[in-house]
Structure 1
Amino acid sequence: MPRRIPGIHHVTAISGPPQANVDFYTGTLRQRLVKKTVNFDAPDVYHLYYGNTGAEPGTILTFFPFVDAGPGRAGPGMAAGYAYAVPAGQFDGWMERLAADAVDFDGPFDRFGQRVITLRDPDGAPVDLVETNRVSDEPLDGFHSVTLWEADLAPTARLLTDHFGYAEAGHETAGGIERLRLVTPGDARGTVVDLIRSDAPSIGRQGAGTIHHVAFRAEDDAVQAEWQERLRSAGHAVTEVRDRQYFNAIYFREPGGVLFEIATDPPGFAVDEDAAHLGEALKLPPQYEPYRARIERVLPPLRVAG
C-alpha cells in the first residue's frame, strides 16, 4: 500500500469573468497559462490551468471562470486558501514589485517562522506568498500549502496523519483563528496543509473567489488504485476513476466536508500540444470536438500577459 501522499497536485477554484482572472495570474503572479480547455460538465465555460514553465504537479492552479458567477464566501467545510512558495532571496523583491505596480497586499507577517504576504485576486480570493529557502529560477516555485477551514480539526487531521502520511508540524492561535500545520516528508512542492478553526461564526457559499477542490498527487495509475482501495476500506465514499485528459482522478469528501481529489502525475499537459506552446490553443475533450465551432463562438477571446 502507498505509504504517503507526496504533496498537492493542483487546486481548482471558481472565478468570475475569465479575462480578469488571466490578467492577474499571468500578469501579477507571473504564472504560465498551461492549458486552455473547457469545463467537462459545461463546455460553454472555460477551464483554465496555470502553472510553472514546465507545468509540473504541485504548481497547477485551475479555474472555472463563470461570467455571471455570484460572490462566494469561505466557511467551515471548505478549502479557504492557497499559498505560493517564494524562492530563496526573492521575497523582498516581490514586495517591491507589487508596491511599484500599485498592487495592494497585507503583511508581511509571521506564520510558523516564515514571512507571508496576502494578496486578493480579482474575485477577492486570498493568495498567500510565503518566503521559503527553495532554490528556483521561477518567480514562484509552485504551491507552498493549502488551508482547509474545519469546524473540528481532529477528524481531518487524523485522515491526513493516519492515511496520507502527514505529521503535525506546528500549532498557532491568533486573532481568534486556530491553525494546525501538517507536513508530508520530502522535497516535493506543496507538502504543507494548514487546518484552521475560527471562533467567528460563518456559513460558506460556493461562488466566485472560492475553492472547489484540492487535489493530491498519485505517482501513477497503480498507486492511485491503491489509494482508492485503501480509502474505501477506511469507509470513505470514493468515486470511480475519471479521465481528465491530463491526469486521472478519484474524488471523496474528507470528514470535515472539503472535496478531495487524488490525481495522477501522468500523462501531463504536453499530451495534446507541444510543451513550448502550452495554453496557446483551445483544447477540447474528444466528446466536444465535433462542436468546436459552436463552442468557440460562445467562449470569449482571451489575452495573455507577456
Structure 2
Amino acid sequence: MPGLHHVTAISGPPQANVDFYIGRLLQRLVKKTVNFDDPGTYHLYYGNRQAEPGTILTFFPFVDAGPGRAGPGMASAVAYAVPKGGLNAWMLALAEADVAFDGPSERFGEQMISLKDPDGLRVELIETERGTGIPAAGDVPVDDGFHSVTLWLKQPDRTARLLTDLFGYASAEQASDEGGTRYRFLAQGQGRGSAIDLLTSDAPSIGRQGAGTIHHVAFRARDDDEQQAWQEALRAQGFDVTPQIDRQYFNAIYFREPGGVLFEIATDPPGFATDEPMDALGQELKLPDQHEPLRERIERVLPPITLPRGRGR
C-alpha cells in the first residue's frame, strides 16, 4: 500500500469551508461536484496544483449539519506535510490572518502546529524531511499533500495488524500523547501520505458524525487490477468489502477496519482531468451522468460559492 489517496470529511455551509481551505490553507479547488447519493449537496475536492493522489481532502458541506465530535472509532485529525524550513513561514502567515493555532510542538522528532477549520476539524501542519515542496508563505502554496491521518481507537491491536500484516506498513514509533499513547505506522517508500497514527486516549468522548468530523480515509490503488487484489485479500481475511463503485474520478471499494473507521481503497485513474482540463479544474459544476438531466434543478438547490480572489486555480 503506497499511502493515502484522499480523506473525506463533513462540514457545515460551503462558503466558510471554501474560504478556509482555499483562502487560508492555499489549497486548489480540484473539483466542484455533488454527493452522488444526495445531489442537493456539494462534494468539494481540494488538492495540490496537479490534483495528485495523496493531496486530496474532500468535503460534504451540509448546510444544516449539526456539530460532530471525534471519538473512538473515528479518524480524528488530518495532517499536511510542510517541508523543512516551512513551518515558521506558515505560523507567521496564519498569525497575520488571525487564524489561531496551537504549537509549535514536537511529535516523533518533527515540529508541528495544529489548528481547527471553521467546523472544528483538527488540521495539523507537520514539518518533515519527507516534504519536497517550497516552504509556504504569503501566496505560495504547499504542494506536498498529506503527512498522515490520526485514527482514535479504543483497542489498536487489530488495526495495527491490518496495517502491518496486510497493507505492509512498518511499525515505527510510539509515544505518550493526549492522555494516551500514539503509535505511528509508515508505508513502504515513505512518500506522500505515508504515515498512519493510531491514538488511544483516556479523554471522555463519544464520537458523533457531523460537521467537523472525518467520514472516511481512502488509500491508494494504482489501477483496477491492484484494487481487485486488495478486495480479494481483504475478503479472504473476513472483511466485508463492497463491490467496486464508480466515483467518476476513481473507482472505490469500502470496508470497516477493526476499530470502526470506514476505509476506502481508491484507484489513481482516471483522475480529475477526465471531464475538464487541468488548468481549469474546479471552475464549473460537474455532475455524474445519472444526475446531468437534473442539472437545472440541482443548480437551483445548491447554495452559491464564491472563490477567494486569485485562489483555487
Q: Which runs of 4+ in 1 moved over 2 A?
A: none
Query: Does 1:127 find its partner at 2:146?
Result: no
Give the match for residue 286 of structure 2: 283
- Paired residue for 1:261, among 245, 261, 264? 264
Is residue 2:205 matched to residue 1:208? no
Q: Aligned Cα RMSD in Å? A: 0.9
Deviation at 1:140, TM superposition (A): 4.4
Q: 1:60 aligns with which of 40, 47, 56?
A: 56
Tell me the TM-score normalized by structure 1: 0.97
Amino acid at match of 1:146: V
Aligned counterparts of 2:295 and 2:221: Cα–Cα separation in 1:
32
Aligned position for 2:105: 109
Please give the alpha-carbon distance, in whole angstroms, between the structure 1 residues aligned to 2:178 and 2:189: 31
Correspondence 1:31-50 to 2 at 5 A: 31-50=27-46
**Which of 4, 15, 24 in structure 2 is aligned with 1:28?**
24
- Distance (whole Å) between structure 1 residues aligned to residue 77 and residue 97 of structure 2: 23
SS at match of 1:294: helix
How many residue pairs end up in the alignment?
A: 302
Partner residue of 2:304 out of 280, 298, 301:
301
Which runs of structure 2 are paired with 1:139-154 in the superposition (5 Å)? 139-154=142-157
For 1:206 and 1:175, the matched residues in 2 are separated by 21
- Aligned residue identity for 1:269: F
Deviates more, 1:268-277 or 1:185-194: 185-194
Moved more, 165-174 or 261-270: 165-174
Q: Distance in 2 between matches of 1:95 and 1:176?
A: 26
Distance in 2, Cα, partners of 1:191 & 1:234: 23
Match of 1:72 among 68, 72, 76: 68
Alpha-carbon distance change, 175 to 300 in structure 1, aligned in 2, over 3 angstroms = closer
Q: Distance in 2 between matches of 1:94 and 1:140?
A: 13
Once the two structures are TM-superposed, the CA of residue 102 in structure 1 deviates from its matched residue by: 1.1
- Alignment partners' CA distance in 2, 1:100 and 1:233: 53
Whole-angstrom CA distance in 2 between matches of 1:184 and 1:174: 22
Tell me the distance in 1 between the aligned counterparts of 2:4 and 2:257: 15
The aligned amino acid for 2:239 is H
1:250 is aligned with what amino acid? I
TM-score by length of 2: 0.95
For 1:124-273, what aligned pairs fall within 5 Å after superposition? 124-133=120-129, 134-137=131-134, 138-273=141-276
The aligned amino acid for 1:28 is R
Q: Deviations over 1:191-239 (max 9, x none)?
A: 0000001112221000000000000000000000000000000100000
DSSP 3-state at the match of 2:58: strand
Q: Is the Cα–Cα contact under 8 Å of residues 249 and 262 in structure 1 kept in the other structure? A: yes
Shift of 1:88: 2.5
CA contact under 8 A between 2:49 and 2:143: conserved in structure 1?
no
Ranges in structure 2 where 5+ consecutive residues have no aligned partner: 135-140
Q: Report the alpha carbon displacement of residue 301 of structure 1 after superposing the two structures with TM.
A: 1.2
Cα distance in 1 for partners of 2:296, 2:149 equals: 38
Amino acid at match of 2:71: G
Q: How far apart are the structure 1 equivalents of 2:161 and 2:222?
A: 23
Structure 1: runs of 5+ lacking an equivalent: none
